Each structure stands twice: as C-alpha cells, then as structure tokens.
Amino acid sequence: MQINNINTGISASSGISKMSGKEAKIDTFGSDRVSMSSVTAQPVIDPSKLKGLFTQEKTQIVSKAQWTQPRPGVGDYDQTLVSSSGSVYARTEKGFCRIDGSNGNISWQAKIPAPLMKERTALWEMKDGSIICATQDNKLHCTDPATGDVKWSHDLGFQFQNPCFVAEDGTIITFHKDGESLNLCRLNPDGSLKKESKLGDWYEPIGDKGSDAQILAVDKKGFVTVHADTTVIKPGESYRPLNCETMSVAPSGRVLSRAHTFDPPKIFASDPNRLFNVDYGKMEIFEQKKSEPVWKLEETYAIQDPKYGGIGDKLYKIGDEHKYKYLSFAASNEKGILLTTYFQTPPPGTMHTGYELVCLDPKDPSQVLWKHPSATSYEGRAVFTDGNILLHVSDEKTGTVEALNYADGKPLWNQPLRDLDSGERELGRSGGMVRVSSEIPDNYRIKQGKDGTLYIRTFKNIYGLNPADGSVKYKIAAPHEIWDFNLDKDEKNMIVVNNETNEIVSYPITTPQELVSQVAKDMAQEAMKTEGNTQNASSSAASSPAKASIEVGKGQVRIGGVLLERDDD
C-alpha cells in the first residue's frame, strides 16, 4: 500500500493494507479499541481523540461533494443528461441548463419559449452534441450546445410521453398531431422533414395520461415500432372503445402491421422484429410485420373444486404448473425469454403465494428452461441483465441482490445492499431493483460502467459491484435521498439528483476504504487543531519528521502512531 507521509498535514491512502486482526467489513461499525502502534515512536495525535470512528452512525460516513448546483422551483419530474462532451444538462424551472461537469458552474440557460414537458424523458442528445428538448408548448426544440440558442423547432401538436428517438444515422423519429390524425415523422438533423406518414385517427387522450403514443424501438434498417391509441373520442360523438395498437412502420412510411395491444409490448433484444405482449389474461408473441400473434398463451380456470372457493379464478399454466396469477416480460435474448411472475396455489386459508423468475425457450415458448424463486415484483423493469448475468432481489428484508447465470438460472453470487435508514424504501417491490416510492416505481436504479461495474442505487447509497463476484468496488454515500444518477464522461465521478432539494451534486467514485479514510482524516485534522496537540506536533517535528499518514484496512485504521481497531468482543 502506498503511504504518503507529510510533516504538517494528513494524507489519506487509496489502498488497502494487509493488517493483522479480525476480518470485518469496513463499512460496518462496532466498539473501538485504541492502542499505540510500535511503528511510530511519537504519535502526533492524542489517541483518545480518535475514539468514536467505528461507533459513528453509518449515515455519518458520507461522500464529500465536489460541487453542488441548486435548482429552485424544479418539481417532481426530473432528468439529468450527461453528454458525450462531459457537460451535464438538467431541468430548471423555466427549461433546462448546461452545467460544466468539472466545476458545477452553469454555462447557459436554454433560450426556449416554455418549460420542459412534465415527463421523465424530455432531453435527447444528437450526434453532433446538440440537445433536443420537448416543451410544454407542444414542440421539440433543438438547441446549440455552445450557446443554448434554438437552432430549429418541430410542432408535435400534443405533449406525448416519449416523443423523440435519435436513430444511429442521426434521423430524428417523432410525432405530429395534425387535426384528427396522428402522424409519424422522420426529421433530418437540421430539422427538415424527411418523411411523414399517417398512423391513424387520433383524438385527445382521456385524463392526464390516459391514452398516448410512444416510440418503442427503431432498428438499424429504419423500421419503427410505435404504440398508440388511434381512436378515442371524436368531437360530437359518443364514447368509442379504446383502439390500442402496436404498429410497425417501414422506412418508406408504410404501416406494415397493426397488432391490438392494450399496453405497450416489449421488444426482443435478440430479435427486434419480435414483440412480447401481456394484457388482460393473455400472453402473446408478435412478429413485427404481422398483425396476428405467432404464439399465444391464455389464462384458464385452474380451480374447479367448490370447497376451495374462487371457481372463477383464472391462472396461467406455464410448463407443468397451473399457478401463475400475474406475469410480466423482463428480458430476452438467444438464451431465453425471462418472465417475472406472481403465483398462488390453493386452497384459500393455506394459500401459498410468491414471486418467481421463469425463463422460456425463445424457439418454443411453451417449454420452460428454468425457474428460480425471487423477491422481485412481477411488474416491469424488475431485473437487470447484460446478456450473461441476471440481477434480481432475492431477499427484500436485507436488500440482497443475487446474480444468476442467464443460461441456466444457477446462482453466481449475492450481495446485501440495504441502507440502514431507508425506511420503507426497500429493494425488490414496486417493480424494480430498488424501490424509490410507490408513486414513481419506474425510476432508474442500476447502470453499468464501461468496465462492466454494476452501479446500483439504494436509498442514499450507490454501490459499484464487480460483476464477476459481487464484491463492492466502489461506494458513494450521500447525506440525502438520491434520485436520478449518471456517470460522468470519464467515469470518475457520479452526478446525482438530491431528491430532497432537487440540487445537482457531483460525488467522487470512491472505494469503501477511501470513504472511511476521509472520515479518519477529518477526525485527525480536528484533533490536531487543539493547542496541546499542535504543540506536541510542533515539538515532534522539531526533533524528527512527524509521520501522519493514514492506512485503512479491514476493521482497522492507523493514523501516524495510533492504531484504531474494531472490538467485536
């Protein structure tokens, strides 16, 4: 371990020393045992001043912000975008701003005519670094990344939930509501119209977010998958049933297929031409250019005996078990179609319920490849996969994340990640790796770095896990609830949103040992401020150089000549 020795200050080491003593996790705390080290004859710090490092509340061991940018007036909807250049773009009360990622200073406030749409995603980056925003005046605006000036605008005609997609060739895929028709538009990077095609009749949605149109996917050849409600209520007419459709649109603008799906279906990662749909008692697989399903599974009556009650209940039969009440598509690749499920087995009173992961054969979905118990809700966005490993929550009480081999479902490793002060916000429920709140169950919870590190946000912490064994490589411990988070350009800092104040904060990505080392450094500096310790330090420095390096090991911290150890006895 590299140690930096200085005469007048304290330096925290970034390594981990191999010290003798009990093996204990560095971020767990117990009672203190302070002793004199035989390494340094004259300590520069009073040992009694260091008592309390291990007995502090865990929430006191927090990361130090590199910079903070206040944003008064920002509401519940929020998003940060870290661009390819390293700049941070964030929502403000009047629109959005560009923040210098190196120091947190605001470079400019976008010169747009209206605030951003009240949806999570309202900012997109173009290939040239320009930023597209969706605003409450029902428009898309493209802004210059250097000045924030509007370069061009596009009329949407409505505040759609997901109105923009930037394709690999730079084409912008978006919508345009023209009178009573819904159109799909392809724009050139300069905002000029490349192609416009009518999807169908479309009228004002019911309620705040009732019916809408969403761009689900755009493949490399330019085929677009759209979900929209193309008939709702026509002015002057009585109510019409919802006509929810998933459409495949060719690059020419021709609508190739229309599949009736109440909710937006999921796209197969391994085959973008296949769609998976679950709604109202049926599970279907569509091919993008066909309107009829190529495979279907429907709920059927599972309980026939009146003494068990609930004769009318229908359940899905998957494999040889007729027990699945709810299910949701979680992921897919050539290794399998993964479902998150909620099951129940009779009789009532002794009803056994639970959550289970089920992986189906992608070539024949009627065949089950493997099953595995889980604490993860059946709702969407409940698992994470990079194609090889699969992360889910195996124990909600401890917040344990378990990694499975996607191919066969066998456990690889597990890691408890629950915050001590998380309250009811636990891993597992409400449809995702981490519960944020019952109102917003689909907030991002996990991101993967360029080196494969898995960054998982709990309540006030972000853990960087090694995908090979689940060990904690990095830890960002914030003194506040974390909302959105993004890695910076070089992946050395984490840009987070303080959910309590809406501030944008930058924290260094540090190891758990570096976190404790920083606290030890602060305690040592505070101890050296006292007159007696200052005199001792000066006297010691006069006779021989004072060595006040900090070493952090498992359950131990050594500051100069003072050794602080955990005492679990």
* Enclosing H/E stretch for 532: helix 531-543
* Cis peptide bond prior to 115, omega within 30° of 0: no
227 forms beta bridges with 214, 246
Strand order from edge to edge, sheet including 150-155 = 123-125, 131-135, 139-143, 150-155
Residue 449 contacts residue 487 (beta carbons within 8 Å): yes
Helix (H, G, I), strand (E, B) or coil at 324: strand
- What whole-number distance in Å separates Cα of residue 47 and Cα of residue 222? 68
For the chain, how are helix, strand and coil distributed in percent, rounded to 5? 5, 40, 50
- What whole-number distance in Å separates Cα of residue 415 and Cα of residue 398? 9
What letter would DSSP give residue 391?
Answer: E
- What whole-number distance in Å separates Cα of residue 547 and Cα of residue 8? 9
- What whole-number distance in Å separates Cα of residue 204 and Cα of residue 240? 12
Query: What b/e readout covers 389-413, taking b as 16+ CB neighbours within 10 angstroms?
Result: bbbbbbbbebbbbbbbebbebeebb
- What whole-number distance in Å separates Cα of residue 96 and Cα of residue 89? 7
- What whole-number distance in Å separates Cα of residue 36 and Cα of residue 48? 11
What letter would DSSP give residue 497?
Answer: E
Residue 309 contacts residue 348 (beta carbons within 8 Å): yes
What pLDDT sits at residue 98?
Answer: 95
* Enclosing H/E stretch for 515: helix 512-528
What pLDDT sits at residue 223?
Answer: 87
Decide: residue 190, CB within 10 A, 0-12 exposed, 13-18 middle, 19+ buried: exposed
- Write phi, then psi, for 67 (nearest 5 degrees): -160, 160
Amino acid at 406: Y
**320-477 CATH choice from 3.90.76.10, 2.40.128.630, 1.20.950.20, 2.60.40.2890:** 2.40.128.630
Q: At what angle do helices 512-528 and 531-543 cross, to 10 degrees?
A: 100
Splitting the chain (569 residues) into consecutive groups of 10 residues, what average pLDDT does each group show?
A: 31 36 44 58 63 64 89 69 90 91 93 84 91 94 96 91 88 89 93 91 53 78 82 53 76 84 69 75 80 86 58 80 85 87 72 86 92 77 80 80 94 81 40 34 65 87 92 89 86 88 91 79 70 48 49 72 66
Locate the domains of the chain by residue range.
Answer: 11-63+515-567, 320-477
pTM here is 0.80
Q: What residue has token string 């897919």?
A: 332
Could you tell me the sign of the dihedral formed by the alpha carbons of 506, 512, 514, 515, in that order? positive
- What whole-number distance in Å separates Cα of residue 546 and Cα of residue 549? 9
What letter would DSSP give residue 516?
Answer: H
